[in-house]
Amino acid sequence: SGCFTFDPGFGATASTKSAITYIDGDAGVLLYRGYPIEQLAEKSSFLEVAYLLLNGELPSKEEFAGFEHAVSHHTMMHESLKHFFRGFHHDAHPMAMLAASVASLSAFYHDNLDVDDPADRKMAAIRLIAKMPTIAAACYRYSIGWPFSYPRNNLEYVERFLHMMFEVPSEPLQLNPVAAKALDLLFILHADHEQNASTSTVRLVGSTGANPYASVAAGITALWGPAHGGANEAVLKMLEEIGSPDNVESAVRRAKDKNDNFRLMGFGHRVYKNFDPRAKIIREMCHKVLAELGVNDPLLEVAMKLEEAALKDEYFVERKLYPNVDFYSGIIYKALRIPTEMFTVMFAIARTAGWIAHWIEQHETPGARIGRPRQLYTGSGVRDYVPVDKR
Ligand code: CMC
């Protein structure tokens, strides 16, 4: 009973008002707080973008210095949290370790957190943005049997992360500024994307009054799936499987075959129907970064050929399927020596800024209600219980 709309997959339902990110899917427009993604990608930094998403305005010099100071002084992982890792098998997927570790943050910062207090919410945002790279690097180092690395507060956000990933005590790590800049840019492009599956999950969990660490951990698990953030890992595996430009035609054929589950990973988007503005930036950047790092990856050729073949194929044209943000990002991550299993973790570090900005916005909105979708029941009508010996 009741009157409501049937909208599977929420293709036509706005679940909330939001002032954070704007997407025009037909025009290929993406704005964070009104600023075009192209301008932010060219001129801003990830940490500045995080501030913008959280606060609604770009920071003054002083405001940014204060934010950076706060973030760089909350980067440490509690020593007890490190024991969690010892319980994981060494080949556990880093996303599994990340989701569990972030959920466990609520065990460390829960008791004195009041979700109705703006200062507490801000503190949680800073903690999450600060600790995510530390936990992410720990996931990687645990998987290869290396000791965890301490965050260096004197480094900038992305440099600090790369340092924690790759440093070994005996040799000072020579950070390549091209690599750091490339990663910073990827983080900017992934920082928010309005009500995508993981952000909607964070909001749904947040709507129950759950703490921000639990809410963001739920976002991480939603991101993991190959239809969402897991696509970047899936794209690279797909490109490796295709292996050579010669096999591109048959991959396209398989992707069109409705009896085959194979999809072109990194292709298609619920909202973008002409192009994904992030993909445009990433494609350009991919060429530039590989050239600057002197990397010659044959997978880039496979990707370009695949894009070209799909874009002139009727199936993809009719359905308005274009490369999305994940199509070229993996080739860049690979050039930065980030292992394939860590790709979605990279996405999670960046999207944490968006997730927590949405969680805060939700708590700042008066009269917000618990998220509680309805259903169309398709099961049996009422019937009487039959004792087991009569069934
Ligand atoms: N390869 C082949 N066919 C596809 C693809 C693809 N990548 N994407 C969509 N289609 C077809 C789909 O089979 C359907 O065909 P038909 O109308 O004949 O049944 C039509 O296009 C519409 O697809 P849909 O699944 O109804 O579209 P959706 O809006 O529900 O899904 C999507 C969007 C992104 C989940 C989907 O395009 C997809 O699975 N893409 C591959 C995974 C991927 O790259 N995901 C990353 C998305 S962007 C970053 C992020 O969100 O993390």
Atom 27, ligand 1: which residue's CA is nearest? 270
The ipTM assigned to this model is 0.97
Atom of ligand 1 nearest to the CA of 196: 51
For ligand 1, mutation pick of 321, 328, 343 (most atoms within 8 Å of CB)? 321
pLDDT digits (tens, 9 = 90+) for 151-167: 999 999 999 999 999 99
Q: Which protein residues touch ligand 1 with a CB less than 6 Å away?
A: 9, 196, 227-229, 231, 255, 263-270, 319, 321, 324-326
Interaxial angle between packed helices 94-109 and 118-143, expressed in degrees from 0 to 180 and rounded to the nearest 10? 140
Atom 17, ligand 1: which residue's CA is nearest? 319
How is the beta sheet containing 35-36 ordered, strand by strand?
21-24, 29-32, 35-36
**How much is the pLDDT for 110?**
74
Q: Which residues pair with 274 in a beta bridge?
A: none
- Judge contact between 183 and 137, C-beta under 8 A: no
Please state the pTM of the whole predicted model.
0.96
CA of 307 to the centre of ligand 1 (A): 15
CA of 267 to the centre of ligand 1 (A): 7
| Nearest CA among 23, 36, 351, 355 for reference residue 190 | 351
Enzyme catalytic residues: 269, 326
* Chain length of the chain: 391
**How much is the pLDDT for 134?**
98
CA of 4 to the centre of ligand 1 (A): 26
pLDDT digits (tens, 9 = 90+) for 258-312: 999 999 999 999 999 999 999 999 999 999 999 999 999 999 999 999 999 999 9
List all residues 6 or more positions away from 156 whose beta carbon is below 8 Å from its beta carbon.
Answer: 45, 47, 68, 180
Atom of ligand 1 nearest to the CA of 266: 44
Q: Which residues pair with 168 in a beta bridge?
A: 171
CA of 121 to the centre of ligand 1 (A): 35
- Judge contact between 275 and 27, C-beta under 8 A: no
Q: What is the rounded distance in angstroms from the CA atom of residue 165 to the CA atom of residue 168?
A: 9
CA of 101 to the centre of ligand 1 (A): 31
**What is residue 286's three-state secondary structure?**
helix
Atom 4, ligand 1: which residue's CA is nearest? 263
Counting Cβ atoms within 10 Å, is residue 176 exposed (0-12), middle (13-18) or buried (19+)? middle
- Judge contact between 307 and 327, C-beta under 8 A: yes
**How much is the pLDDT for 1?**
52
**What is residue 29's three-state secondary structure?**
strand
pLDDT digits (tens, 9 = 90+) for 30-39: 999 999 999 9
Tens place of pLDDT for every residue, the chain, 391 residues? 578 899 999 999 999 999 999 999 999 999 999 999 999 999 999 999 999 999 999 999 999 999 999 999 999 999 999 999 999 998 999 999 999 999 999 999 876 789 999 999 999 999 999 999 999 999 999 999 999 999 999 999 999 999 999 999 887 788 899 999 999 999 999 999 999 999 999 999 999 999 999 999 999 999 999 999 999 999 999 999 999 999 999 999 999 999 999 999 999 999 999 999 999 999 999 999 999 999 999 999 999 999 999 999 999 999 999 999 999 999 999 999 999 999 999 999 999 999 999 999 999 999 889 999 999 999 999 999 999 999 9
**How much is the pLDDT for 173?**
83
